[in-house]
Structures are given as structure tokens and as C-alpha cells.
A and B are shown apart, each in its own frame.
Chain A
Amino acid sequence: MSAVVEVKNLTKEYKQKKAVDDLSFEIRQGEILGLLGPNGSGKSTTINCILSLLKYSAGSIKIFGEEMTPDAYKIKRDIGVIFQEVAVFEELTVYENIDYFCGLYVKDKQERKKDIEDAIALVGLDEFRKYYPKQLSGGLLRRLNIACGIAHKPKLIFLDEPTVAVDPQSRNNILDGIRKLRDDGATICYTTHYMEEVEILCDRIIILDRGKIIAQGTSDELKALAKIEEKVTIETKHFKPEFLEKLQAAPNVDKAEYAGHQLVITYKSGKNNVAKLIEELSAAGITCNKIFSERPTLNDVFLELTGKELRD
């Protein structure tokens, strides 16, 4: 796959603080690239630099093989951006808002009309086309925000945390829409601090912290970076604290903790860990209410690499 966006040694300094520190990566044709990181990790700053909305201190940015500048109108014609904050006109209806932004890219009225209808269908706002933004819920407003950014059918789309403060129904709708855009041939750069979203949506993931790339790869490649293989959580009210030492000493166990009626055991490796654990607990006369077993998450990867949680 060829690179649609090439970022080389990008650095952005605010006074003496580096918001983005020597960042190099590429976004490949037809993929969804996830930029994952906690608040303040430099995701939005990186996007703003790529779009030439911000001046950067060092580095180079190429889009579609050409250098990106504020006057690169040919490149801008094929870019769509959905910012973290909703950016629509309160005084215009849903349809008018989409028409306005689409009209800044598409001159032909007939073509534009079709594009608007496609965008409305994609985000599921058909019955709200005559509504004003203040009449829409937070989720619907986010959908309108997305429609305004993609109605002109861009080849490259930047989505900056589009699902913040969105209800589950709207979130699913948005994620389905993004997949549809990718399936239709768009290349997408998706920034978020919701690890679940990047796991189910993105082909590749870049994890950022303090303006630096700390890891990148597919979801499975990243999870392999975590030292744990399995995490088992057990709800029990009859746990005997002296049993914790025995568990910690068991083969393959990385860590065992008990707090608030929850026993959490992480395993470095091994097979049938849950079955063996239940056996041992039964033998010790400890009854279990609920048992969960899960593979390591991207949060575990982040924790492993930085020593802190993604949402810290």
C-alpha cells in the first residue's frame, strides 16, 4: 500500500514544551490508522500540523506525495476533517449546514445534492434534515458534525475524537459510518483515547504519549508487547487472605490481588489457567460468584510501556 500521508521528524514546540517530539509515521492508502493516547499526548496537535492549521517547529509533511502548505488547495480539496469540537452553524438547519460546507468543495449543484443525500444517509439524519443544531441531542450533533466534514467525499479523512460524550447508539452509528467510508475507498486517520474503538476499528494503531510514538502496529502486534497473556477476575465474598500468597507462588502467575470482593490474577503464559484456578479455589472451600477471563487490552500495553493508565 502506498503512503497517502508521510510525516517525517515532526516537532511542535509551545515556548519550551514539546507538544510533538520528532514524530515520524505514515498513513497508508485505504487503511484506518488509529492515533491512540491520553489527553495531552499530542494527537490533536499532530492533526493540526498535518492540516497546516498550526506552524510546526521542525519536520516535513507530505500528503498525496506533495508538500502540505496552507495554500495547497489541490490537496485540501480531497481532505475531510471532523474536529473534536462540533463546528456547525446554529442558525442553519441540518441540510443547510451540510450544503454550506459541501458547497465550499463541490460547485455543481446536482452533484452536491447527491453528495448531501449520501452524507445524510450515512450518518442517519434523514428525519432531522430540517432541524436546527440546538434541537439535536449530543449524539445527533456529532453525526451532523461528521456529515459536514465528509459530504464532499474526500479521499483522506481525519477524525479527531468524534465519539466524545456520545450515547451508545450514536457511537455505533458513527463507527459503522467510518467503516463504510473506508470500504468506499477513503483513507482514515482516527484519533481517540478510547482503546476499545481503535481495537475494533483500526487496521493499524500508533500509541502516543507526551508527543512521542511509544508503540505502533496492529492490535495483536501491540498486545504482544504486554508481558501478560491472560487476566482473570473473580467476584467472591468468601476469600481467605492467606490463600493469596499461595496463588502468587503458583506457576505462570504474574500478579494476584484482592480488593473490594474482587480477586484479579494475571498470568504471564500457560494454558487452562481458569480451569486450574477454579479447581484450586474449590479445594480451598472458596466459592465464586462470577468469573471473567480476558486477553490483555491496549490499556495493559500502555500500562506496561508507560507505567500509567491510558485515562490517567
Chain B
Amino acid sequence: MFGHNFKYTFKVLMRNRMLLFWTFVFPLVLGTMFKLAFSNIENSEKLNVIPIAIVDNEDFQGNEAFRRTFETLSDESSDEQMFDTVYVSKDEADTLLSDGDVDGVLYMNGAEPEIWIHENGINQTVLQYVVDEIVHTSAIMEKRVQNELEQGAMPDIEGLYKNVMEQVAGRKSNLVDASRANMSYTMIEYYTLIAMACLYGGILGMTALSRNLPNMGNLGKRTAIVPISKAKTMFSSLLAAYCTQLIGLAILFVYTIFVMKVDYGENLPYVILLALAGSLAGLTLAIMVTTVVKTGENGKLGILIGITMACCFLSGMMGITMKYIIEKHVPFLDKINPASMITDGYYALYYYGVDKRFWMDVASLGIFSAFMLLVSAQGLRRQKYDSI
């Protein structure tokens, strides 16, 4: 019975044109549009040097990593000059930003770098990326020093410190290339696109599940009277939905890799693992909405699509700066947003490889899925069908 229900649910989902459009075709269309839109932006921006201001305070002067990196990246004699930097006071920086003379301001507040911007755009994204890179590389080196101290060795502090400078400054070419060509819009957009496809796949789960619940329509009533446990029919239906969802993701990956030439890095098994975890999160989100929300099938579908789009928006799909704003000002929201977990996982994988940050994202998606299932189980248990 399990296989029989699985086979027919899979057949039903694969033949539903509307579902296939939203879960299979729509991400491809959106990806193609990103490619067309953002490649033009990047090409036009590529030769420009970005005007920025740095607040020249004690904190900045005391931070060797930031000071030296920005000096290098602002070198007018270099072919790879990235920034046109002016060093000013806090008030002057504010005025320059308000007048539109600079695209962004770097302000070191103690050890914490702050970026002030007036509007979202590619230049602001590049500045944010460079700052992130410096913070990240510095943190790695600091940890190395700490490890050596814990192991009882006397680290060559001066040597390591020098190493940090070389690492950050030495990656100038990489920064220029990575921040503009890869990190900028396109890669983040592709990551959020995958996140959206993962979460959108939940629509398949919602459709499959609806046909097992008597309060969701006639098919649900008919399925509710068969001599099979509800758990068995639900599980086989959801498994079929998950498999259909993975086929859609596989098509998306093939399309972006071979047609749009997107480079996901060298960790393909981990790219797939993250997609599996993301899809599971999308599926469980749909199960939760289906079982807990008390409205008709169309209403539930609307709510699911709304949540998905909101998650993608907050993770930077419609403007990457949003991702940074949320990370900085509402970090809790970023932590519970499955789309952010997916995009952050891919980001981590691409730039830092399979490290703690990646596994944290995978684990977060697992915890999110488990929580959704727990809430759904409670919702199902409470359903009495007083009225169908």
C-alpha cells in the first residue's frame, strides 16, 4: 500500500502543470532573469573605482589589518585600485555621504567595523564584502594564535601578525574579483534562488498532504475512509513530494551549472547535502502550514507562498543589503529564517569550504525541520473534525 500510494502521488505531482511551473520552471526563469539583469550591472560597474570615506579615528589607526588593507586597495598607482578613499572626521564623513560624494563610510567603533550607506547598490555590496573578508581572515589568525598558546607553545606573535596582513592584502586581486564578479549580486542571488526553490518545493508537500486530510476536500474524505493508517498514507505522500522536489532542484542545478555557468565551488556533495536539508525545511514548513493554519487550501497556499517570499526577501533576494541589515539589527530573525540558513550555508561553502559555519547551517536546517514537524504533529493531534 505504501508503494502504491507513493507511486500514484508521484504521478499526480509530476502531471500537475501548475505545480511543475512554480516548483520547476519558475526558479529557472528567475535565474535566467538574474543572469541577464545582473551581468549587465556588473559589466558596467567593473571599471569604476568606488569612492568611500573612512573615519580617521584612533580605532582605525590602531587596527593594522583594516588600515593596511584599505591603503593597498586604494593605491592610485595600481591597476587594481578598488577604492578612492578619503580619510576624514566623523562629521565630515556624514556630510560626504549625505551629499552623495561617497558611496559608503567605514567607521571603526572599537574593534567593530560599521558601514554607513545611503542607498543599496553594487558599490555598497563590495565595501561590505571587503570588510567581512578582513574580519573573517583576522579572526582565523587570532584563533590560530590562541590555539598555539593553549598548546603551550610560544607563538611568534609578530610573525603571525605579519601573516594576517599579508593574507588580507595579498588577497587583493581575489577580493576585487570575488567581490565584484562572484560575491556581488549574482552569487548571492543564485543562493537565494536555490533557497527559494527549496522552500517553494513545499507546495508539492502541501498538495500531497491536502489529499490525506478530510477537512481539506473531497479527496481527503475519500482517503480518510481507506483501511490504512493516516500516518502511512501521509508519510508515503510526503516522501513522493520530497522526491519530486529533489528532481526540480536537480534540474535547477544542472541548468545553472551548465547553461548559466554558475560555479558552486568544488564541494558538490556538500552543495547537494545543503539542498537536501533545505528542501526538508521547505517540506516541513508546508506541513506545518497545512496542519496548523485553519483556512481553505487556497488560503494555506497563499500563506505558504507569502512566508517563502518573505524569507527569501529577508535573506537578500531582492537586495543583498537587506541580508546585512537583518544580520546586524535583527540577528534572531536571521537565525530562524530557513532561506538565510540555506544562503549562508552556500556562502560559507564557497568561501571557507566545509567548516563549522557550514555545519552550523545544516544543523540549523535540521533543527528547524524537527521543530516544524513537532508543531505539525501537535496540530494534527488536535484536529477533531467537528466540521468537514
Contacts and interface: CB of A to CB of B under 8 A. Distances in A.
B225 A91 contact: no
Interface residues of B, number: 27
A83 B221 contact: yes
Contacts of B218: 83, 85-87
Given A73-B228, A91-B16, A148-B222, A100 B8 contact: yes
Contacts, number: 75
A89 B386 CA distance: 26
Interface in B329-388: 384-388
B226 interface: yes
B1 interface: yes
B384 A91 contact: no
A79 interface: yes
Given A89-B12, A105-B226, A55 B386 contact: yes
B229 interface: yes
Contact of B225 (A74, A76, A86): A76
Contacts of A149: 222
B385 A53 contact: yes
Interface residues of A, number: 32
- By secondary structure, the A interface counts as loop
A101 B4 CA distance: 10
B225 A77 contact: no
A91 B227 contact: no
Interface string B108-133: 00000000000000000000000000
Indicate the member of B1, B226, B228, B388 with the most A CB atoms within 10 Å: B226
A81 interface: yes
Given A73-B227, A87-B218, A89-B219, A104 B4 contact: yes
Contacts of A61: none
B11 to A, nearest CB: 7
B228 A104 contact: yes
Contacts of A87: 217-219, 221-222
Nearest to A55: B384
11 contacts: A48-B388, A53-B225, A53-B385, A71-B229, A87-B219, A88-B219, A91-B16, A100-B8, A101-B222, A101-B226, A148-B222
Interface of A: 14, 48, 51, 53-55, 70-71, 73-74, 76-77, 79, 81, 83, 85-92, 96, 100-101, 103-105, 107, 148-149
Given A54-B387, A104-B4, 7 more contacts: A53-B225, A91-B12, A100-B4, A103-B4, A104-B5, A107-B1, A149-B222
